[in-house]
């Protein structure tokens, strides 16, 4: 079994603060992390490997050189091999251009590592939150897709995925190769062992640049290959607060709230 | 793609029984105004199995035209069949823009179609407008976990596509109207649908987790302290006829399943009444609930950001407040 996991290094958006004076994002000092949903995708691959020990897990990330730290973390957790896709020509890409470049890179990595049976992604990255790159990679590569995966197994040459849907959990299957995106499952991903951490630190992570992608049409990459353009960004306005109740006792406060609710037709 | 009309399309997602999901009907409301500004009409695209109820609803809630595709292969959603059908329709009719509800299925489908048509898609929009200067759709969406809003346009590719979260827009008042109905026959052979549904395991607890359709939501956060802390939350939700929600902190702690999560990585909700209990109000949570009509917050910390968006707030212990409130409501309703 040959599994590719696509990962992105993202700022930890839970650590982002707003400058109260300038009303802008404070990006300095915000730690970079492996996108949590990509971590769930890696864990899903690792669980398949637990049951099929001859599985190889390859991780691929597009980003600047510092994204190698994220790839090293994946090597420490479960991955066997990592590649960094990096080139200035890729900067400014929207989801369509990004997924095109990644699909070209996946074809290139396949010439080095063999064809992938499964391609796993996080359902979305926590900085952009678009949830588009996974399905768009699948479309570029002509693969079936399953999104909102919780866990996956492989049986008789097919992948079986538990998928989160509005009504509960759907069990869905597809032939391979197939692309699966992952959301948050009810269990936590594994931690790296000390031994794997040390090996990951020594691991060599090859760069893939535009010249390696012999089939790529750079007209479809970067800013010029991106149909969507960001016209403006702004910090969302805050609603001003309403009535705050703080009586001497909790029940007095509660009855005051109850009266307000009744008066406003909320009961 | 070649643009053939100035029409705006709204995709109406259907349920297994052919009835519409609410978000499609919601989107007809802003869609109507946008189509007018673009100088075109509003068309609803209904795909499913036995879709008459959806066609009628689309007509009542504002569509000028309904384009309907009906077939057994559309009874259950599949990426492949729905992508084939919509792509064929777009190529035939050439609309200038298209709105899709950002349900799990809508977010599965949107990028697949956009990529096949080689056009731009803006995900999870919370505001829609037409740019006066260019006539392009101005799609506004949150990024960086709701810390930043971005307005995005797709100037040169058509159709301009966006997904919009359920609950962001309200449905129009229904009106008696006969939209023009166009039936399209698009058959998808079984072998072209590459995913098969084996089974659906419905949510274990009997309570519904239809947060996006809920009129009343009572949510718990870190302050409920454990899975058993959701008992008073459930009791209040039950007394009000509401649904139980949760913050990411409560879900991450394993106290309640992810399906209950409200916020940037959970559901976006817009109920009439939202009661936040023991929720501090991180921006990621506010992004998912601040468009609720009325917000009530109960929190021990008077400086909790949740009070900044609440209409009424109690500074106090939810374990003292909720039983009293639930009792009072039960008595009032008895």
- In this predicted structure, what is the pLDDT of residue B206? 38
Would B268 be classed as within a structural domain? yes
- The residue among B260, B31, B159, B102 whose CA lies nearest residue A129 is B102
Compare B142 and A38 and report the one with higher pLDDT. Answer: A38
A266–B150 C-beta distance less than 8 A: no
Would B201 be classed as within a structural domain? no
Domain boundary pick from B141, B176, B192 = B192
Q: Could you tell me the residue ranges of all domains in chain A? A: 2-225, 237-267
Tell me the residue range of the domain where B317 lies: 216-333
A226–B259 C-beta distance less than 8 A: no
Residues B221 and B133 placed together within one structural domain of the fold: no
Q: B215 touching A, CB under 8 A?
A: no
Residues B35 and B163 placed together within one structural domain of the fold: yes
- Geometric angle at alpha carbon A29, from A26 and A34, rounded to 5°: 105
Would B133 be classed as within a structural domain? yes
Residues B19 and B151 placed together within one structural domain of the fold: yes
Residues B90 and B45 placed together within one structural domain of the fold: yes
Q: A263 touching B, CB under 8 A?
A: no
Q: A153 touching B, CB under 8 A?
A: no
Structure tokens belonging to residue A199: 């090996």
Query: How far is B72 from B60, CA to CA, in rounded Å?
Result: 25
Would B209 be classed as within a structural domain? no
- The residue among A96, A107, A121 whose CA lies nearest residue A208 is A107
> Which stretch of A16-25, B138-147, B213-222, B281-290 has the lowest confidence by average pLDDT?
A16-25
Residue B130 maps to which CATH number? 3.40.50.620
Residues B46 and B163 placed together within one structural domain of the fold: yes
Please state, for a pLDDT cut of 90, what percent of chain B lies above it: 80
B198–A171 C-beta distance less than 8 A: yes
According to DSSP, the residues that pair with A34 across neighbouring strands are A9
- Number of structural domains, chain B? 2
Q: B18 touching A, CB under 8 A?
A: no
B20-74 pLDDT, tens digit per residue, is 999 999 999 999 999 999 999 999 999 999 999 999 999 999 999 999 999 999 9
Q: Which chain B residue has the Cα nearest residue A177?
A: B194
- In this predicted structure, what is the pLDDT of residue B321? 96
Asked if B101 contacts B209 with a C-beta cutoff of 8 angstroms, the reply is no
Of A148, A167, A233, the CB nearest to B202: A167
CB pairs under 8 A between A and B: 254
- In this predicted structure, what is the pLDDT of residue A21? 74
DSSP label at residue B261: B
B194-218 pLDDT, tens digit per residue, is 999 999 988 755 345 788 878 899 9
- CATH placement of domain A2-225: 3.40.50.620
B102-141 pLDDT, tens digit per residue, is 999 999 999 999 999 999 999 999 899 999 999 999 999 9
Query: How far is B220 from B90, CA to CA, in rounded Å?
Result: 43
Query: How far is A61 from A109, CA to CA, in rounded Å?
Result: 12
Query: How far is A115 from A107, CA to CA, in rounded Å?
Result: 8
B333–A261 C-beta distance less than 8 A: no
Cβ contacts of A148 on chain B, cutoff 8 Å = 104, 108
Per-residue pLDDT of chain A (267 residues; tens, 9 = 90+): 999 999 999 998 777 777 777 767 777 888 999 999 999 999 999 999 999 999 999 999 999 999 999 999 999 999 999 999 999 999 999 999 999 999 999 999 999 999 999 999 999 998 888 999 999 999 999 999 999 999 999 999 999 999 998 888 999 999 999 999 999 887 889 999 999 999 999 999 999 999 999 999 999 999 999 999 999 998 877 666 689 999 999 999 999 999 999 998 898
Query: How far is B295 from B273, CA to CA, in rounded Å?
Result: 6
Query: At B152, which helix (H) or strand (E)?
Result: strand B148-153
- In this predicted structure, what is the pLDDT of residue B157? 97
Would B200 be classed as within a structural domain? no
According to DSSP, the residues that pair with B113 across neighbouring strands are none
Asked if B261 contacts B251 with a C-beta cutoff of 8 angstroms, the reply is yes
Contacts with A, B 231-290, CB within 8 Å: 240, 251, 254, 257-259, 264-265, 272-273, 282, 284, 290
Structure tokens belonging to residue B19: 């009835």
Query: How far is B64 from B52, CA to CA, in rounded Å?
Result: 16
- The residue among A95, A76, A114 whose CA lies nearest residue A202 is A76
Cβ contacts of A144 on chain B, cutoff 8 Å = 79-80, 194-195
- Geometric angle at alpha carbon B213, from B211 and B216, rounded to 5°: 70
ipTM: 0.91
Residues B181 and B231 placed together within one structural domain of the fold: no
Would B210 be classed as within a structural domain? no
- In this predicted structure, what is the pLDDT of residue B207? 46
Residue B280 maps to which CATH number? 3.40.50.1220
B83-99 pLDDT, tens digit per residue, is 999 999 999 999 999 99
- In this predicted structure, what is the pLDDT of residue B284? 85
Q: B182 touching A, CB under 8 A?
A: no
DSSP output for A136-185: HHHHHHT--EEEEEEEEEEETTEEEEEEEETTEEEEEEEESSEEEEE---
Stretch B315-330: mean pLDDT, rounded? 96
């Amino acid at each position: 079994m040959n599994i590719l996991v696509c990962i992105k290094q993202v700022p930890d958006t839970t650590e982002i603060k707003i400058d109260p004076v300038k009303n802008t994002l404070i990006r300095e000092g915000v730690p970079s992390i492996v996108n949590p949903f990509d971590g769930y995708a890696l864990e899903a691959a690792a669980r398949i490997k637990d049951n099929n020990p001859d599985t190889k897990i390859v991780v691929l990330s597009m980003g600047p050189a510092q994204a190698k730290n994220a790839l090293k973390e994946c090597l420490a957790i479960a991955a066997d091999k990592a590649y960094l896709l990096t080139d200035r020509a890729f900067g400014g890409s929207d989801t369509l251009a990004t997924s095109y470049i990644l699909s070209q890179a996946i074809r290139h990595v396949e010439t080095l590592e063999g064809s992938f049976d499964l391609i796993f992604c996080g359902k979305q990255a926590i900085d952009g939150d678009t949830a588009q790159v996974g399905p768009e990679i699948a479309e570029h590569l002509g693969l079936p897709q399953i999104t909102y995966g919780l866990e996956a197994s492989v049986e008789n040459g097919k992948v079986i995925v538990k998928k989160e849907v509005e009504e509960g959990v759907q069990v869905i299957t597809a032939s391979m190769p197939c692309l699966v995106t992952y959301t948050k499952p009810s269990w936590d991903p594994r931690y790296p062992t000390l031994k794997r951490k040390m090996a990951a630190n020594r691991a060599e992570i090859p760069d893939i640049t535009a010249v390696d992608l012999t089939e790529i049409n750079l007209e479809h990459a970067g800013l010029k290959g991106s149909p969507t353009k960001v016209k403006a960004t702004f910090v969302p306005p805050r609603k001003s607060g309403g009535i705050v109740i703080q009586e001497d006792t909790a029940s007095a406060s509660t009855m005051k709230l109850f009266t307000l609710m009744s008066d406003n037709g909320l009961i | 793609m070649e643009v053939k009309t100035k029409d705006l399309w709204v995709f109406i997602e259907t349920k297994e029984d052919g009835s519409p999901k609410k978000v499609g009907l919601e989107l007809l409301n802003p869609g109507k105004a946008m189509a007018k500004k673009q100088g075109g009409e509003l068309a609803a695209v209904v795909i499913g199995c036995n879709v008459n109820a959806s066609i009628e609803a689309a007509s009542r809630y504002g569509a000028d035209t309904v384009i309907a595709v009906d077939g057994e292969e559309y009874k259950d959603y599949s990426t492949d069949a729905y992508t084939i059908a919509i792509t064929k329709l777009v190529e035939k009719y050439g609309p200038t823009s298209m709105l899709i509800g950002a349900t799990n299925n809508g977010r599965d489908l949107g990028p697949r179609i956009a990529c096949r048509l080689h056009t731009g898609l803006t995900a999870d929009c919370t505001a829609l407008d037409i740019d006066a200067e260019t006539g392009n759709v101005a799609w506004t969406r949150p990024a960086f976990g709701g810390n930043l809003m971005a307005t995005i346009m797709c100037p040169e590719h058509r159709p301009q596509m966006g997904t919009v979260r359920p609950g962001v827009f309200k449905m129009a008042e229904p009106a008696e109207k006969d939209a023009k109905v166009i039936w399209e026959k698009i058959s998808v052979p079984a072998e072209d649908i590459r995913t098969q549904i084996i089974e659906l395991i419905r949510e274990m607890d009997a309570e519904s987790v239809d947060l996006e359709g809920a009129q009343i939501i009572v949510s718990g956060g870190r302050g409920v302290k454990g899975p058993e802390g959701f008992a008073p939350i459930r009791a209040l939700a039950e007394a009000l006829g509401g649904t139980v929600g949760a913050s990411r902190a409560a879900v991450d702690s394993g106290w309640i399943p992810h399906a209950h999560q409200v916020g940037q990585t959970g559901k976006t909700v817009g109920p009439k009444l939202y009661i936040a209990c023991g929720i501090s109000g991180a921006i990621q949570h506010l992004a998912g609930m601040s468009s609720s009509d009325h917000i009530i917050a109960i929190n021990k910390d008077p400086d909790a950001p949740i009070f900044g968006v609440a209409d009424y707030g109690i500074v106090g212990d939810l374990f003292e407040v909720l039983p009293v409130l639930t009792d009072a409501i039960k008595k009032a309703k008895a």
